[in-house]
Amino acid sequence: MKLITAVIKPFKLDAVREALSEVNISGITVTEVKGFGRQRGHTEIYRGAEYAVDFLPKIKLEIAVPDEIADLVVETIAKTAVTGKVGDGKIFVSELESVMRIRTGETNEEALS
C-alpha cells in the first residue's frame, strides 16, 4: 500500500476530485495548508511597498491506495493539477505500513476496498 500526499493549488481541487472519481479510490482527506517551494512564496505590492509573502495557501490531499493503482492516482493528480506555472505543487509517495477500518476492524487491502 502507498500513501499519496499531494500539495496542489486550491483552485484545482474540484478538477482533481472530479478526475479521481474515475479511479477506484476508497477515500480522500483534504486539508487547507500553507507552504512554499523553491520560490519561497512570492512578493506582493501593498500600498506601494513590496512585502514578502512567505507562505501561500495550498490544498493537501492524502489518499491511501493499494500498490496497483498508486501510479494511476499520481498520474491523474499530476495531469489535472498542472498549470505549468510555479507553485503547481508536489506529489509525495510513501510506503504505507497498515490501515484499519475502525468500524469493522478490517485491515490493510480489505480496509481500502
The least distance separating ligand ATP from the CB of residue 63, rounded to whole angstroms, comes to: 16
Task: Tell me: does residue 29 bind ligand ATP (CB under 6 A).
Answer: no
Asked if 80 contacts 49 with a C-beta cutoff of 8 angstroms, the reply is no
Instruction: Output the smallest distance, CB 77 to ligand ATP, in A.
Output: 13
Helix (H, G, I), strand (E, B) or coil at 101: coil
Provide the grid cell at 5: 500526499
Alpha-carbon span 13 to 19, nearest angstrom = 10
Go through the chain and tell me how many residues it has.
113
**Per CB under 6 A, does 89 bind ligand ATP?**
yes
Under rule CB under 6 A, residue 58 binds ligand ATP: yes
Q: Which stretch binds ligand ATP (CB under 6 A): 10-18, 43-51, 72-80, 88-96?
A: 88-96
| 94 three-class SS | strand
- Shortest reach from residue 57's CB to ligand ATP, in Å: 9
The partner residues of 29 in beta bridges, in order of sequence, read 62
| Residue 13 touching ligand ATP (CB under 6 A) | no
